[in-house]
Structure 1
Amino acid sequence: MSEKKQSLVLLAIFSFAFIAMGVGTITPAIAAIGAAFPQIGFSTLLLVSTIPSLVSIPVAIIGGSIAGKSVKYRTLVLFAALMFTIGGIIPYFINDFTLILVSRAFFGLGLGLIMPLNTALIFNLIPPDKQANIMGINGVVMNIGGIVLQLLGGVFASVQWNYSFLAHGFGLITFLLTLFFLPEPKKHELPAGTADAPAQKLKMPVSIFGWGIAFGVATILYYPSLTNMSSVLETIGANSAVAGIVLMFMTIGGMLAGIVFGKTFKKFGRQTLSFGLFFFVLSQVLFAFSQSVPLFIIGEALMGFGLTLTMTSINMMAGASVHPSQTPMAMSIIVTGMNLGGFLSGYIYAAVMGTLGITTLRFQYYSGIVGFAALLIFFLVLFSMKKPAAPVGPSQASSH
């Protein structure tokens, strides 16, 4: 592949990453949407944000199982970008809340395919020696996209509530770039069997499910640092505008981590995950005990840094442990763990705090300190006991 063609391929892949955090586009507009539908209860109102995430869980699994097999990667990517765009924009034209929720479900169809396919395309189109750097840059683009989409969603909502949905129009750019510049990854044939040793069907390594669980647990632990931050900041006299600025620094931290990830992973390998968990611990300590906005800002930046190092390390190690044809399903399992963790987090903390009679929201950060410290110790011990798995390529054994 020529250098110019590879640059265009990367442009298409990065355009897909740009919209990967699109679920948060209308978050700044929730209050404006609520004001437009005063008869809708707050829990029902939040469905405009949660329905896409719920729909994306089964979609990610189904998409991962068929990508590159019964359905081409290009077909799924184009479908995802189209659903993201159409399902995202439709609420601009309607005033029925039920229909808005239906359109958000269609938006979820696209959202569920974007993140696992984005990562799978990197493993199937980029040479192995460049994957760590590209994964880091991909993380930077993803965070920039999150900032731009949320910013536009908020600015448009200040004009009128339904204008916020127009920000999803970026999906059309992804659709066009994919249509013209994204090649179909070549199929990686499995070794043929012989009379003495018939070919075996590829099995998904147990470690992939372990990574999905680990990422799900991490998401449960850090999610209150997003959803409850404005409420915690109110206790020290900060308003919602300040909360928005504080939360923005999580994305800035994630961008910085993406910039250094490639070199860090090449030098430290899987221990990069340990660094990410360490930054998570530091962020939770600051959230648990800080009484000033600047310390909360530092905490959010550290959390964003830790999240990007953790997520990208897990993706790299998972991608290296499976046959290239298995990468879409492996990434889908990990993304599903993340989505389930985000969905369950609030319910788990509500149940625990209600049962124990705990009222302080900072309990969630105390739990985060303990939880992330436990994960850090677990992986430090695991990595000291177990040697890194050899990368799995197309020519290697057909089962794990």
Structure 2
Amino acid sequence: MKMHGCNALLIHKIVQSAERRIEKNKFCVPCRSEPPAQKIIKFNLKERGIIMQGLKKHWKWVVAIIAMQFITMGTVGVAPALAQIGAAFPDKSAEEIQLLMSIPSLGTVIASLVAVPVAARLGRRKSVILGLVIFCVTGLMPCFVENWTLIILSRFGIGVGCGFVNPLNTAAIFSLFNEGEEVDTLLGWQQIGNDIGYIIMALACGYLTLLGWRYAFAVHAVGIISLILTIMFFPKDSEGHRTEAHKVEGKTHLTGAAIFWLLFVLVFEGTLHTFSMNISYLVAESGAGDSVLTGYASTLMTVGGAIIGLFFGKFSKALGRLTLGIGVCIDVLAFACLQFMSEAAPFFALAGGFLVGFGMVIVFSTTTALSMTSVNAATQNLVSSLFIICINAGQFLNPYWGSFLGSLMGGDGAARPKVLGSMIVLAICAVVAFVAAGRVGGKKAVAE
């Protein structure tokens, strides 16, 4: 059977690409003649099988990595109880009560800066366990004290614990597993752990608050689960098939490409966080519903992230360098949905929440890979820490950035102009993503 010359050339290139991937993973190519399409199917199935075998072989490491992510959203775990906490401290202003949500970010930023040198001295395993212990002790402290200063300090401690665990956990993925679909799969599963922890804390906080404001802080007991599983399953520093490679990579060197992607994350998260900061106000202003609708929209953000997290590895491999741009475009669409939300169309809040989470996980997983693969192994812990810092800095700056964007749209503090301005900035980020992905460093992180 004859094929058109272009089609034959295309199939030949696809087969060559598959053969290169197989050779990289030490696959054996069948000697007997087979149709190119059949070869491709066999190659992909075999490659996927080897990847899953590798993850199954080190399932204990995978469990520990996912479990550590349970605490990531601990900084906002008591958000449903803020009103009750405020009632318990009538002498505190609303701004002071909101410190319970902003102070942890400061602790995370500071801890992320020192996590790398501490890990270099104590080792990654001991440093992660230290972070989890700090999280558990300080997170549960408000259950037993009433002093406002101690409560604020405990919230700072939660941020410190997260600041130790998060960057070292991400760096562990790149040092313990093979770059490519294996790492992409773990990054997606890592986000699932984050979502599991958030859902547990959000639901538990709602019920525990009925017993009293103190009990709301008991949600941080989820950190005990993370601590136990980490002690049981997280590998020693001497374990991992890439350990030797890490020893010979050389000195720490932060590349321009890594800095570019870190700044991209700062702008992206600083803009995307407009959703979390303004969804409740937007729902009220539009007459679409009340706090119940807001809660559902926030929950669907987690659901959207969890769904894409399940198959992000395959998603990224299929789209290659387009992955990042498409992820940002999904968030642009999410903010467009919020613009159409009204009393007659409250479902746009739900659609917007789902799409925000879906696109957010794509962007964070992809930019993590792009920034981490733009540097040598000796610098990956540093980049992972800076990545967490950029996310937290973006969240901290969002109220000011959102107000500025809202004023440019002619708003007077209302939520809708802030969302509109943020949507425009995200659209610009999408253009940057399409142009830069695959061109600015991290070329190993995207499919050819």
Using the size of structure 2 for normalisation, the TM-score is 0.81
1:376 aligns with 2:430: yes
1:235 aligns with 2:289: no
Q: 1:217 aligns with which of 264, 267, 275?
A: 267
2:118–2:127 CA contact under 8 A, matched in 1: no
Kindly state the Cα deviation for residue 352 of structure 1 after the two structures are TM-superposed: 5.5
The reply to whether residue 330 of structure 1 matches residue 380 of structure 2 is no
Within 5 A, what are the aligned runs for 1:340-351? 340-351=393-404
Distance 1:152 1:331, change over 3 A: same
Matched residues in 2 for 1:379 and 1:2: separation?
31
The 3 A distance-change label for structure 1 pair 162 and 323 is same
Alignment of 1:75-154 (within 5 A): 75-129=126-180, 130-154=182-206
* Map of 2:366 onto structure 1: 313
Partner of residue 81 from structure 2, selected from 16, 24, 29: 29
Task: Indicate if the aligned counterparts of 1:65 and 1:329 stay in contact, CA closer than 8 A.
Answer: no
Aligned CA distance change for structure 1 residues 325 and 184 (closer, same or farther; 3 Å): farther
Separation in 2, partners of 1:47, 1:169: 21
Based on CA coordinates, which of the two structures has the bigger radius of gyration? 2
> Which one scores higher on RCO, CA 8 angstroms, separation ≥ 6?
1
**What residue in structure 2 maps to residue 269 of structure 1?**
320
Task: Pick the aligned partner of 1:208 from 246, 252, 258.
Answer: 258
The one-letter code of the counterpart of 1:174 is: S
Structure 2 Cα separation of the partners of residues 124 and 191 of structure 1: 11
Q: Distance in 1 between matches of 2:438 and 2:178?
A: 29
Q: Could you say what the CA RMSD is over the residues aligned between the two structures, in angstroms? A: 2.3
Counterpart code for 2:74: G
Contact 1:57–1:112 under 8 Å retained in 2: yes
**Does structure 1 retain, via aligned residues, the 8 Å contact 2:373–2:442?**
no
Distance 1:123 1:204 in 2: 17
Taking a change above 3 Å as real, the CA distance of residues 380 and 330 of structure 1, as seen in their structure-2 partners, is same
Q: Quick one: structure 1 residues 38 and 267, their matched pair in 2 at CA, closer, same or farther if it must change by over 3 Å? A: same
Aligned 8 A contact 1:125 1:185 in 2 = no
Q: Give the letter for the 2:173 counterpart.
A: I
Larger mean CA deviation between 166-175 and 306-315 belongs to 166-175
Instruction: Please tell me the residue identity of whatever aligns with 1:358.
Output: G
What letter matches 1:109 in structure 2? Answer: V
Taking structure 1 as the reference length, what is the TM-score of the superposition?
0.90
Q: Does 1:339 align with 2:389?
A: no
Aligned residue pair count: 384
Q: Is the 8 A contact 1:212 1:335 kept in 2?
A: no
- Native 8 Å contact 1:29 1:157 kept in 2: yes
Shift of 1:321: 2.1
Identity %: 27
Q: Superposition pairs for residues 388-399 of structure 1, below 5 Å?
A: 389-390=443-444
Q: Secondary structure at the match of 1:311?
A: helix
Whole-Å separation in 2 of the counterparts to 1:322 and 1:66 = 20
Unaligned runs of 5+ in 2: 1-52
Task: Give me the whole-angstrom Cα distance separating, in 1, the residues matched to 2:100 and 2:364.
Answer: 26
Distance 1:99 1:374, change over 3 A: same
